[in-house]
Amino acid sequence: MKYTREVLEEAVAKATSVAGVLRQFGLREDGGNHANISRRIKLYGIDTSHFRGMAHQQGIPPRNRLHWSEVLTVAPVGSNRREAALLRRALLESGRSHRCENCGTGPEWRRSPLALHVDHIDGNPNDSRPENLRFLCPNCHSQTPTWGRRSRHNRPIGALDAAPAESSIEAEAGTR
């Protein structure tokens, strides 16, 4: 069967997902068919705004989704790093502007998406408090002392694993 614009427009209008379109054509819902139909729908510019994705989960928040205040904390020594996507979501939900804090570049550059980096100001990946995180564009981030874990190369082992001071005054005084 040839998937012309007209045939696809009719099927897409009746369905709520790409899988629904596949079922209308009597096709198996596997990767090749899904990719082919998705590509054609995109090629023809057919409106899919009514697609709901996984309808059984539509409108239901994930059960294990952490609140931003639970993500933006100091993790125990030896913990794994928080994923950048999780930190990015938490910062945005906390009200942080999605712009480079150095030059002001937004999440789009030359009409293309730009992934802003989440930078730990003190270089400690365990310290994910809001005041220790900032969004930086790749250009500005590459000029910082914490880019690419630069801050780790010249410090004694374990120096970054210590718990952060409670306030900047205590940090300057070196007390805890």
Alpha-carbon distance of 72 to 133, in angstroms, equals 9
In this structure, what token pair is assigned to residue 71? 């993500």
Given a contact cutoff of 8 angstroms between Cβ atoms, the answer to whether 91 and 72 are in contact is: yes
Q: Hey, how many other C-beta atoms are within 10 angstroms of the C-beta on 21? A: 28
The yes-or-no verdict on residue 37 having pLDDT over 90 is: yes
Residues sharing a CB contact under 8 Å with residue 30, sequence separation 6 or more, in sequence order:
none
Q: What is the pLDDT of residue 31?
A: 76
d(CA 33, CA 97): 40
pLDDT interval class at 9 (50, 70, 90): very high
**pLDDT by residue (tens digit) across 61-117?**
677 888 999 999 999 988 888 899 999 999 999 999 999 999 999 999 899 999 999
Segments making up each domain of the chain, as ranges:
5-51, 68-151
Give pLDDT tens digits for 42-68: 999 999 888 876 666 666 667 788 899
CA distance 31 to 116: 31
For 119-168, write each residue's pLDDT tens digit: 999 888 899 999 999 999 999 999 988 787 665 555 554 554 445 555 44
3-state secondary structure 54-81: CHHHCCCCCCCCCCHHHHCCECCCCCCC
**Is there a contact between 139 and 109 (Cβ–Cβ < 8 Å)?**
no
Residue 176: what pLDDT? 46
Contact by Cβ (8 Å): 50, 21: no
Find the mean pLDDT for residues 24-48. Answer: 90
Specify the pTM.
0.55
Q: Comparing 159 with 33, which gets the higher pLDDT? A: 33
